[in-house]
Structure 1
């Protein structure tokens, strides 16, 4: 029987705790956003990422960049964009300088829904983190998340 490396065991335990934290938060967000705004957590994330784009040349994200930002494959991101486009929350158009490129923008209806959903998202995130912080195994991870929260809080 092979001996287990304690460092690898600790690393695996940390990874497991991180996965648990992520799953708990994602579940809280999914339930709250779906119940109050008929949005999945991924749909919210996609609207949020796209709403942060700025206009003008170079101000749009390629589909690969969007996929990376919402942690989905390009094909899954395309399906998600299509669903939101069908709901009137997004619009797609050809890049004016490169006809092969397609840009995606949030519609006025999409921006309105995002702004309505943002307080739900943020409050649910805070609640889920507070709940997780009461778990001794997750508390250090929650603290780590909170320390990186501050610099990005003004991005909205």
Structure 2
């Protein structure tokens, strides 16, 4: 065994704890969004990201940027956009200056659903974090997530 083995084990344990926290949060939020709004976490995230676009400099996101923001491949993002477009929550149009570019906007129905889902998302996130705080291994991660949120507010 090498001298770095304990450090690597600690690092692996930290990564495992982070994965557990993420899984618990995502499961709680997914369940709440599905039950109350017929939305997946990915669909909610996509609506949230696209709702922040604007017409100014750098305000429109290309599909590659959208894929990065919702942590999906470009093909999975395209399928997700298509599903939400079929539900009338998104619309697509050609970029006026580059006919190869396609932009996606949230429709009024999508904005209304997003507004209705935000409190559900926030409540489920809060519940997941409160539950995770009771786990000794996850408590420091919960505090770090909360500190990041406070720093950005």
TM-score w.r.t. length of structure 2: 0.96
* Match in the other structure for 2:109: 109
The 4+ residue runs of structure 1 with deviation greater than 3 A are none
Q: Does 1:14 align with 2:14?
A: yes
How do 1:57-136 and structure 2 match up within 5 A? 57-136=57-136
1:56 offset after TM fit, Å? 3.6
CA distance in structure 2 between the partners assigned to 1:147 and 1:90 by the alignment? 33
Q: Supply the distance in 2 between the matched residues of 1:152 and 1:78 (Cα, whole angstroms).
A: 30
**TM-score, with length taken from structure 1:** 0.94
Q: What residue in structure 2 maps to residue 147 of structure 1? A: 147
The aligned length equals 152
Residues in 2 aligned to 1:99 and 1:58: alpha-carbon distance in whole angstroms: 17
CA distance in 1, matches of 2:139, 2:99: 49
Unmatched runs of 5 consecutive residues or more in structure 2: none
Separation of aligned partners in 2, 1:65 and 1:135 = 35
CA distance in 2, matches of 1:152, 1:130: 20
Deviation at 1:21, TM superposition (A): 0.1
SS at match of 1:60: coil
Structure 1 unmatched ranges of 5 or more:
none
Q: Helix, strand or coil: the match of 1:11?
A: helix
What is the DSSP-based 3-state SS (H/G/I as helix, E as strand, rest coil) of the residue aligned with 2:104? strand
Between stretches 130-139 and 48-57, larger displacement belongs to: 48-57
User: Where does residue 34 of structure 2 map in the other structure?
Assistant: 34
How far has the Cα of 1:57 moved from its partner?
4.7
Taking the aligned partners of 1:42 and 1:58, their CA distance within structure 2 comes to: 23
Counterpart for residue 45 of structure 1: 45
Q: 1:24-79: per-residue Cα shift (whole Å, max 9, x none)?
A: 00000100000000000000000000001112453100111111110000000000
